[in-house]
Structure 1
Amino acid sequence: MTSSFTPQDQDDAVPPPTFFADVELKLDAIDRLHNPDPDEFTREYVYKRRPAIITGLMDNWPAMERWDFDYFRKFFGDLDIHANIQNLDSKLILGQVGKFRAMKLEQLLDEIENDEEPGRANYLRAYPVHRMVDHYPELEEDYDLPDLVPNWADIRFPAKWRTGTRNPAKLFGLLLAKTFLNRGSGKKATRSEISSRMAAVMFVGSKGTVTPFHSDGMQTAAYLCQVVGRKRCYFVSPDQHKKLYPRAFRRQFGMAQVDYRKPDLDKQPLFRDVVVEETVLHPGETLYVPSGYWHAIEAMDASISYSHQIVNEDNALGWLTCIPERYLAQLYFKSKGGLRNVTGAKDWDDWA
């Protein structure tokens, strides 16, 4: 396998963003690697916490041929979901971009295809993949999680990470089961259930959907595997977090309070000094987001994406230290009148 550690030339077909006029924006600043060597990638990107776009990992995915809105309508159209109906004219702050509305997935797909209302976008955000697999088990044949780096959050991690007397992945699985409740039932989740719930989610949305600046909760890293459409991605390094004015429980939920398209520099002057890195994610490409890295995502087309969170020796300690913070956050949200009042989400499944 080969790897390259140089940025791809700027894609002339993709126009640059029209905002960020007051900050330093580096276009096409994320390295693109083709089938990188796992040890080299772990050393240069995982341990150094550098984002990257990886090509070649999805070349054999049947999803690249099968997944479109008709496929999702056929096999998952009757799923109950909470769609994020986004008002793009509102503040672009995570949890405040529009409202959540209960509907069938088929209804959301119809609205994505037919809704031309300016300033509105329709989004199924971070829907747990295990619910889709329960509904249609053959879905798991469509994708294969990359074995690029060790991932203790994946119950299917390669045998070389399962064997031996010292098995951190097994311990991690037990901690997952002990830490989280099976949402809605009041019963403890099995390791398989909680691993799938925590780790794998689906994103389906119209052109224009936005996920504002955030860092992934519990200090996880993540793969974002792009199947349909393009997404523009912006990154801010963890050492600049104060310039994004994060909410309380920054490591737990990582919500920036800056509207990056229309920042209020009088109230948030530090944002003027932020350095933003930009890239465009194309179908068949995988984005690696390091632990603690701030990022915002915009859909340039109607899109379908699969994401899987990552925990390993690089960020497991951070994950563990977030456990007590999680319970403090739940108390905080309760004191503010519930999760919906703070994030806009109906429940933890909508938020996570």
Structure 2
Amino acid sequence: MKLNLQQIPRVKTITKKDFIKNYYKPQKPVVIENFIEDWPAYKKWSLDYMKEIAGDKVVPLYDDRPVDYKDGFNEPHAKMKMAEYVDLLKREPTKYRIFLWNIFREVPSLQNDYWLPNFGLRLLKSMPMMFFGGTNSHTFMHYDIDFSNIFHFHFEGKKECILFDQKQNDFLYKIPHSLIVREDIDFSNPDFEKWPVLQKAKGYSTELEHGNVLYMPEGYWHYMKYITPGFSMSLRAITKNPKNVAKALYNFIVMRQYDNIMRRIKGQKWIDWKNEEAITRTHKKNGIL
């Protein structure tokens, strides 16, 4: 048995009018296959190019270890030079990923390799983020704290993407006071005996290849798994939906602060309680005792 996923719609290219009408307003995901072929980055950007232009930069690395109460928000698990990291990606599978790295601050010349596409939304030029990963490395299922609209531009290799909207929260074993679900769920091959409610969740999936653009609407849960070594860049547009603005402010001002306070007071017991509570609440809402 597999997750209840439909393929994300794919288009070769798209006009601003059609994007707003068919995907932004209804808040539905889409993959645009041939939208950035006029970017210099389309032909230039590869792992080898990143090694050449940023090889001496020390990069933050993350793996799939469970959250520890001592971990700061987005605190890296390791660091190494970019050249060493690219060599590692090409040599063998590794769990280490680069997550939310603004490489453009350290290598400003890369900003000349792309420009903001006109999707009809105001994209934040100051917040391009890069993501790198090796074969079979993956992110936890999560959603972004600010409820932004995200455009995910993929370069080199293949990446599996699984998305859920916020209506699926009751089925995903969401961790309370957090932006993630249970970290021990393998969304590529879920164990429905252990996580039976997942069968009720309805989501989307796709595979990204070089040059593809994935639009992820506001608050969408996303799980990314690198089928082969590769990297992506994300650009974002801030939500204008009043409800999502309120949710984003709550996440920043209340949820994150409360979680940090409880980590300091209770330590690992707080993390363990949240993990157990994710199961208890999910099963209770779905009539499983």
TM-score range, shorter chain: 0.7 to 0.9
Return the alpha-carbon distance in structure 2 between the equivalents of residues 312 and 324 of structure 1.
14
The alignment partner of 2:233 has SS state of strand
Structure 2 residue runs without a partner (length 5+): 272-289
How far residue 286 of structure 1 moved from its aligned partner, in angstroms, is 0.4
Could you tell me which residue of structure 1 aligns to residue 118 of structure 2?
147
Per-residue Cα deviation, 1:158-184 (whole angstroms, up to 9, x for no partner): xxxxxxxxxxxxxxxxxxxxxxxxxxx
Q: Is 1:225–1:307's contact at 8 Å kept on the other side of the alignment?
A: yes
Shift of 1:43: 1.8
What is the CA–CA distance in structure 2 between the aligned matches of 1:304 and 1:103, rounded to whole Å? 17
Using the size of structure 2 for normalisation, the TM-score is 0.79
Distance 2:163 2:104 in 1: 31
1:220 Cα deviation from its structure 2 partner: 1.1
TM-score, normalisation: structure 1: 0.66
- Alignment partner, residue 9 of structure 1: none
Aligned mate of 2:253, from 315, 320, 327: 327
Among 299, 303, 309, the residue aligned to 2:226: 299
2:223 maps to a residue whose letter is A
Give the deviation of 1:52 after TM superposition: 0.1
Q: Residue 155 of structure 2 aligns to which amino acid in structure 1?
A: V
- For residue 132 of structure 2, what is the aligned residue in structure 1? 204
SS of match in other structure, 2:115? coil
The match for 1:24 is: 4
SS at match of 1:214: coil
Tell me the equivalent position of 2:59: 81
Given that 1:223 and 1:307 are in contact with CA atoms closer than 8 Å, whether structure 2 keeps it comes out as yes
Q: 3-state SS of the aligned residue for 2:260?
A: helix
CA contact (8 A) 1:223 1:308 kept: yes
Any unmatched runs of 5+ in structure 1?
1-20, 156-195, 343-352
Opposite residue 244 of structure 2, the aligned amino acid is G
Does structure 2 conserve the Cα–Cα contact (< 8 Å) formed by 1:220 and 1:319? no
| Cα distance change of structure 1 residues 294 and 321 upon mapping to structure 2, 3 Å threshold | closer
1:64 and 1:126 map into 2 onto residues whose CA distance is 20
The answer on 1:217 being equivalent to 2:145 is yes
Q: Count how many residue pairs are aligned between Structure 1 and Structure 2.
A: 258
Percentage identity across paired residues of the two chains: 22
Q: Are positions 1:112 and 2:112 aligned together?
A: no
| Alpha-carbon distance between aligned partners in 1 of 2:121 and 2:4, rounded to the nearest angstrom | 34
Q: Are the counterparts in 1 of residues 3 and 190 from structure 2 also a CA contact under 8 Å?
A: no
User: What's 2:100 paired with?
Assistant: 126
2:40 to 62, 75, 78: 62
- Aligned mate of 2:181, from 248, 253, 256: 256
Cα 1:262–1:256 change in 2 (3 A) is same
RMSD in angstroms over aligned alpha carbons?
2.7
User: Is the 1:83–1:108 contact (alpha carbons within 8 Å) kept by the matching residues of 2?
Assistant: no
Q: 1:337 to 1:55 in 2, by over 3 A?
A: same
Check the 8 A contact 1:233/1:298 in 2, yes or no.
yes
- 1:46-102 CA deviation, whole Å, 9 max, x = no partner? 111100001232111111221222221222122222212447xx89xxx9xxx7112
| Residue in 2 that maps onto 1:101 | 78
Q: Deviations over 1:197-253 (max 9, x none)?
A: xx3100122121212322222111100001211111112232111100212245xx3
Tell me if structure 1 keeps the 8 A contact 2:218–2:239: no
Partner AA of 1:124 in structure 2: I
Query: Aligned AA for 1:23?
Result: L
